[in-house]
Amino acid sequence: MTRIALVGAGSMVFAKTIVGDVLSFPELADSEIALMDVDEHRLEQTARVAEAMVENANLEASVESTTDRREALEGADYVLNMINVGGTEPFENEIRIPESYGVEQAIGDTLGPGGIFRALRTIPTMLEIAADVEELCPDALLLNYTNPMAICCRAIDEATDVDVVGLCHSVPHTASAIAEYVDVPANELEYWVAGINHMAWFLTLEHRGEDLYPRLREAMTDDEIYERDTVRFEMLDHFGAFVTESSHHVSEYLPYFRTDPETIEEMTGTGYAGRMPTATYLEGWKERSDERDDALADVDVDDVTIERSEEYASRIIHSIETDTPRRLNLNVSNETGTIANLPEDACVEVPCLIDGTGVHPCRVGDLPTGLVALNRTNVNVHQLAVDGALENDREAVHRAVKLDPLTAAELTLDEIHAMTEELIDANEAYLPRLE
């Protein structure tokens, strides 16, 4: 039987999705599912739903739950990391302190002051998980869902021998959005996507041999469609490719869209992708806190069924366990030069072939100059954030924030220094000892 450990399984809705995905494959329906979280109440909620899924479908899978991480990892074949370190207090500091200086983050979990400081409080715990993996299940594949994806995966690559792959659903979500904009079935799109997490590029985009980029450019002239994805259409117009993260999110990784209220207002569109104001994710996180504590309120465990989502984890596991070839966009080390004009130690998001022999990144070659230049502005921050976390290097943290594109567009160097010191002081209890 395949043993799959979920670390951070107290997020019931997401953990339920992952467990359901795994059990939806007949070849994995006898898996051992080990659920682990430090929050015993939320863990219990997830365990009840997972056990109901197995029982209702009359499967041979087993479900165990524990607050002991080592117990969950013992003998695991796959480890899914979905932790959140620190909770609401540091998250609020990472958004509100920069906001007081004029740095307006919508999400703050990938780059910018928010992403950098989220990485600093997350990487130490991830290194502890990796150390346990090296001891208790050294051949396991670590599948990481925790943001900031590129920074966390890069830290694991640099500091450990654990085989880590980062999973994100931005590519299929973007493909679905594009399919709506150009009015073609999403499952008939053909594309080649590469770059970095949350800033990868649709290098080719076709439907039955037709290049869809002319139709996408035509679609953006429709005001109703443009309003659904303002920033991404602007990037398409100015840089020639569609990017893989929603407009409100990708606006944080660039210097163009969040430096004055007028531009933010101008770029605010319709629907989920159009939410440009500051702290949209933080406010949503706080509003959903009670729901997470009472996640079973609207769930009848007797009626819980198994459904397969678009998440990648179960497909990776199924491909490796059954030698079923698949191609998915994953976050991996660029050590083999998958993207030739990005550093070899960067974490890149590229097409990967998965089969019984594992995960194999596809060679992309050079990205177009304008696109790779934008990626490099983020990769530079990734490296310095990792240096700060792994070496307890206070100066590296300062330089990471100073090189952040949005922060640098808004503040002077002295202002950035003061803001970074304030963030370090406010979140000191959650950070490595910075010297």
Verify whether residue 169 is a known catalytic residue. Answer: yes
Q: Which residue in 41, 169, 198, 207 is the catalytic one? A: 169
* Domain extent listing, the chain: 3-88+108-166, 89-107+167-278+311-435
pLDDT digits (tens, 9 = 90+) for 222-257: 999 999 999 999 999 999 999 999 999 999 999 999
Task: Say yes or no to pLDDT of 272 above 70.
Answer: no
Task: Say yes or no to pLDDT of 168 above 70.
Answer: yes
What kind of fold does domain 89-107+167-278+311-435 have according to CATH? L-2-Hydroxyisocaproate Dehydrogenase; Chain A, domain 2 (3.90.110)
Mean pLDDT of the residues in the chain: 95
pLDDT for res 236: 98
pLDDT digits (tens, 9 = 90+) for 286-303: 888 877 777 776 778 888
Task: Say yes or no to pLDDT of 356 above 70.
Answer: yes
pLDDT for res 114: 98
pLDDT for res 424: 98
pLDDT for res 252: 95
For the beta carbon of residue 249, count every other beta carbon within 10 angstroms.
26
Q: How far is CA 42 from the centre of its chain?
A: 22
DSSP 203-260: EEEEETTEE-HHHHHHHTTSHHHHTTSHHHHHHHHHHSS-BSS-HHHHGGGSSSSSSS
**Angle at CA of residue 175, ends 169 and 176, nearest 5°:** 90
Task: Say yes or no to pLDDT of 178 above 80.
Answer: yes
Read off the pLDDT of each residue in 71-84 and give the average, rounded to a whole number: 97
What are the distances in angstroms from CA 284 to CA 89, 179, 344, 391? 14, 27, 37, 34
Whether the CB-CB separation of 122 and 152 falls below 8 Å is answered with: yes
Q: Can you give 176-205 as a three-state secondary structure string?
A: HHHHHHHCCCHHHEEEEEEEECCEEEEEEE
Read off the pLDDT of each residue in 58-67 and give the average, rounded to a whole number: 96
pLDDT for res 295: 73
Whether the CB-CB separation of 320 and 358 falls below 8 Å is answered with: yes
pLDDT digits (tens, 9 = 90+) for 85-94: 999 999 999 9
* Phi, psi values for residue 294, rounded to 5°: -125, 50
CATH number for domain 3-88+108-166, candidates 3.40.50.2300, 3.40.50.300, 3.30.70.1520, 3.40.50.720: 3.40.50.720
Task: Say yes or no to pLDDT of 194 above 80.
Answer: yes
pLDDT for res 273: 64
pLDDT for res 68: 98
Task: Say yes or no to pLDDT of 418 above 80.
Answer: yes
DSSP 258-309: SSSHHHHHHH--STGGG--STTHHHHHHHHTHHHHHTTTTT--GGG------
Sequence-distant (≥ 6) Cβ neighbours of residue 110 within 8 angstroms: 147, 148, 149, 150, 197, 198, 249, 252, 253
- pLDDT-based confidence at 70, cuts 50/70/90? very high
Question: Which is more confident, 292 or 279?
Answer: 279
